[in-house]
Structure 1
Amino acid sequence: MRFKSSKVNEFRLWGLLLTMGGMLLMILGLAGIVFNWGQAGKIMAVVFMIIGMISMLLSMGVYFWAGMLSTSATVIVCPECGRQTKLLGKTDRCMYCKTILTLDPKIATEHNVQTEQG
């Protein structure tokens, strides 16, 4: 499994990165107007504002998608930490202690055998 945290938290992380990146681009674009770089500064501000706005809209879509996935996720109790966590797909990680979780006994058995041998 390539995720280091739960899938829902990964989606939220990407939403946060898109939000921060969009805000940073908009702030950088504003430098063209604040420092009075003339016509080139205004064009730069417009371009960076549009790219930043698109990034913010994408982040809103990612947050919406993560929210919809979160409402349909299976809620289970983590065997390691005892907290309730959400499971997306066949395998996922606990939101708190990062333990790999699954509801499929075949996958759980294969993982335990690989862990004991390796």
Structure 2
Amino acid sequence: MFFKTGKINEFRLWGLLLTLAGMGIMILGTAGILLWGRQGQLIAGIFLILGMISMMGSMAIYFWAGMLSTSAVILKCPECGKQTKMLGATDRCMFCKTILTLDPNLSNTQTSLEQKS
């Protein structure tokens, strides 16, 4: 994981970044009309299509994260005591970022996982 967050929250973060990038690309595209007039309409059209593709990718990531969230294991974090969702063999608490696992073989290597991150 790139950031020290839960996997579901990381998917949502990438969806948000794609949404913001798509909106920024669309705004830059419409600025082409102001800068170049009639010739800028082609640039605006291209940038609007690229922004729309980015927004559609964002929608797909949000849908995927939602589907993963429905099948995630819900457990209580031993550190903060709040309910959190876990994907895979190891994941982080959504609230306190504690590394969680249900696999007894991986529970002994908790300190080595924290050192790698």
TM value normalised by structure 2: 0.91
Q: Could you list the runs of 5+ residues in structure 2 that have no partner in the other structure?
A: none
Q: Which runs of 4+ in 1 moved over 3 A?
A: 112-115
Equivalent residue for 1:38? 37
Aligned equivalents of 1:7, 1:56: Cα separation in 2:
21
Aligned equivalents of 1:113, 1:48: Cα separation in 2:
46
After the TM superposition, which residues 1-118 of structure 1 pair with which residues of structure 2 at under 5 Å, given as runs?
Answer: 2-33=2-33, 35=34, 37-112=36-111
SS in 1 for 2:108: helix
Aligned-pair distance for 1:38? 2.6
Residues 75, 45 of structure 1: CA spacing in aligned structure 2 closer, same or farther, 3 A cutoff? Answer: same
Counterpart contact for 2:77–2:93, Cα < 8 Å: yes
Aligned-pair distance for 1:79? 0.2
Aligned equivalents of 2:35, 2:95: Cα separation in 1:
48
Residues 61, 20 of structure 1: CA spacing in aligned structure 2 closer, same or farther, 3 A cutoff? Answer: same
Q: Could you list the runs of 5+ residues in structure 1 that have no partner in the other structure?
A: none
Aligned equivalents of 1:39, 1:110: Cα separation in 2:
63
Taking every aligned residue pair, what percent have the same amino acid on both sides?
63
Aligned equivalents of 2:68, 2:104: Cα separation in 1:
23
Residues 32, 16 of structure 1: CA spacing in aligned structure 2 closer, same or farther, 3 A cutoff? Answer: same
Residues 87, 2 of structure 1: CA spacing in aligned structure 2 closer, same or farther, 3 A cutoff? Answer: same
Q: How many residues align?
A: 114
Cα RMSD (Å) = 1.7
